[in-house]
Amino acid sequence: GRAQDPAASGLRNPVCMVHAGDGSHRRFVAEQVGAVWVYLPDGSRLPRPFLDLRDAVLSPARIRDERGLLGLAFHPRFRRNRKFYVYYSCLGGKKVEKIRISEMKASRADPNRADPKSERVILEIEEPASNHNGGQLLFGLDGYMYIFTGDGGQAGDPFGKFGNAQNKSSLLGKVLRIDVDGAGEGGQRYRVPSDNPFVSEPGAHPAVYAYGVRNMWRCSVDRGDPVTRRGRGRMFCGDVGQDKFEEIDLIVKGGNYGWRAKEGFECYDQELCRNASLDDVLPIYSYSHAVGKSVTGGYVYRGCESPNLNGLYIFGDFMSGRLMALREDRKAKTWRKRDICVGGAACAFPGLTGTHGKFITSFAEDEAGELYFLATSFPSAYAPLGSIYKVVDPARRAPPGKCRYKPVPVRTKSRRIRFRPVAETVLDLLTEQSEKAARKPSSATAASSPAQAPSQKGSAKKLASPTSSKKTLRGPGPTRGARVGSPGPRGEGEEPERAQWPDEAAGRSVP
């Protein structure tokens, strides 16, 4: 397909997309600079941001800078209490860099706007270096908030005697677990759950839930199999590696994820690694820097529209732009990787080519459980080149009508910026191909038979497109062209997973 016009993309380094769990099926997209935008279930976008924290957020424009608005999570009872949480970089007194986790509330008067005066700081942690600031916030099924911090930065976790990550008195390089509905002693704005694993260990910070983390970038909770509920509650993370290996971890209470003793399965600090008391939890999967240099953790697909994807953990690599999937082999107690094939000669549909923004910044799940990823072609906090892609399996779609849902209506006080597709969807392309093939049988290129090609043209839910904020629209309107991701070269002897394509781009101009 043709390249998309960059001006038509529009999201400034989108780092996170979440739903509020309130039945509204709205999607909230956070940009690294500190703004959050509302996308409605019909794909339209609201012209004013839900939240604008740009004055408070430290977000330099330097390429691949890791500071900014990094995480957003809604309270499990958001519908009743209007509370949500943000995780961002900021400058404190004497220009000390910090990460700040704050509670905020949606406005009572306008559910699509945050109350800017509602910020209540829950926790601040000093950051000794500009990189490795973590950034994931999420609520577990236990109702507690999980916070994923980085090791503080530089290289090799150099701080203190053996680094921050292995030091349980430091909040850096950790998974923290707190109860945001309670208060602690001395004005602490959270309560430590009494069953946190290190509450009675002298010297350990009681909020620590797991440690030995380098810089987990994107974690998710598995909704579980829609029928058997198997897998429900499992917490998956991608932990970014140092020089050699990236890894995917399953988070368990009290777990030591190994850093800086280990990187992936291998020793990094020889001395710490040989220490018999290390007792670390190994990754469920690790890949070398020949494949990619910065993992972006994803989600287990539990949606309705693409039944063959159920149970696949879909993730990617920020640097190489590769999309991958893990399938659990429960008998062998292992996870098997498949590259996600989205174009090129080795794919099931060699006629499909195209690309997504190379730098995969995050994965996301909507309220119905459908999967997305966010990517940009230039990873700087101010570059408006980010898009949202929906993961669609063109090989097998749910029966028509099966995946309908009724969003709880939400009042909107402004016009809606209507969705117009930036590009043809993969489903459209397949339909075109099968129609062509039907006319000229010899020209068929798709490996699927026309019968398998989806007939529900345009049935995929579409994301909002870059359009028309009057003042700011710089580019032409939507561009036609396949927006099919390219996974790069596949590993030897591996079969492509037959089915995941991003089907849409979305974004908008910079306000």
Stretch that binds Ca ion, among 120-128, 302-310, 390-398, 440-448 (CB under 5 A): 120-128
Question: Closer CB to Ca ion, residue 132 or residue 390?
Answer: 132
Question: Closer CB to Ca ion, residue 258 or residue 379?
Answer: 258
371: β partners: 365
Stretch that binds Ca ion, among 69-77, 123-131, 191-199, 459-467 (CB under 5 A): 123-131
> In Å, how far are 77, 306, 399, 442 from 403, measured between CA atoms?
25, 10, 8, 36
**Which member of 133, 170, 306, 320 binds Ca ion (CB under 5 A)?**
133
| DSSP string covering 431-477 | HHHHHHHHH-GGG---SS-TTTS---TT-S-----S---TTT--S-S
Smallest separation (angstroms) from Ca ion to the CB of 215: 9
Under rule CB under 5 A, how many of the chain's residues touch Ca ion?
A: 7
Smallest separation (angstroms) from Ca ion to the CB of 133: 5
**Which member of 14, 68, 153, 241 binds Ca ion (CB under 5 A)?**
153
Residue 320 tokens read as 């190489």
127 binding Ca ion? (CB under 5 A): yes
Smallest separation (angstroms) from Ca ion to the CB of 153: 3
Question: Closer CB to Ca ion, residue 52 or residue 151?
Answer: 151
What character string, x for contact with Ca ion (CB under 5 A) and - otherwise, covers 335-374?
Answer: ----------------------------------------
Decide: 437 and 446 in contact? Cβ < 8 Å.
Answer: yes
Stretch that binds Ca ion, among 52-60, 105-113, 125-133, 186-194 (CB under 5 A): 125-133
> How far is Cα 257 from Cα 249, in angstroms, rounded to an integer?
8
**Which member of 257, 313, 315, 501 binds Ca ion (CB under 5 A)?**
257
Among residues 509, 413, 445, 491, the alpha carbon closest in space to that of 7 is found at 509
Smallest separation (angstroms) from Ca ion to the CB of 212: 6
Stretch that binds Ca ion, among 43-51, 124-132, 287-295, 499-507 (CB under 5 A): 124-132
> How far is Cα 254 from Cα 64, in angstroms, rounded to an integer?
32
Question: Closer CB to Ca ion, residue 5 or residue 280?
Answer: 280
Question: Closer CB to Ca ion, residue 7 or residue 273?
Answer: 273
258 binding Ca ion? (CB under 5 A): yes
Decide: 319 and 468 in contact? Cβ < 8 Å.
Answer: no
> How far is Cα 225 from Cα 223, in angstroms, rounded to an integer?
7
Question: Closer CB to Ca ion, residue 44 or residue 164?
Answer: 164
Decide: 49 and 112 in contact? Cβ < 8 Å.
Answer: no
Neighbours of 201 (CB within 10 A): 14
Smallest separation (angstroms) from Ca ion to the CB of 218: 15
- Which residue shows structure tokens 């099924």? 141
Smallest separation (angstroms) from Ca ion to the CB of 312: 22
Decide: 247 and 227 in contact? Cβ < 8 Å.
Answer: no
> How far is Cα 267 from Cα 278, in angstroms, rounded to an integer?
11
What character string, x for contact with Ca ion (CB under 5 A) and - otherwise, covers 205-224?
Answer: --------------------
| DSSP string covering 146-164 | EEE-B--SSSS--STTT-S
Residues that bind Ca ion (CB under 5 A): 127, 129, 132-133, 153, 257-258
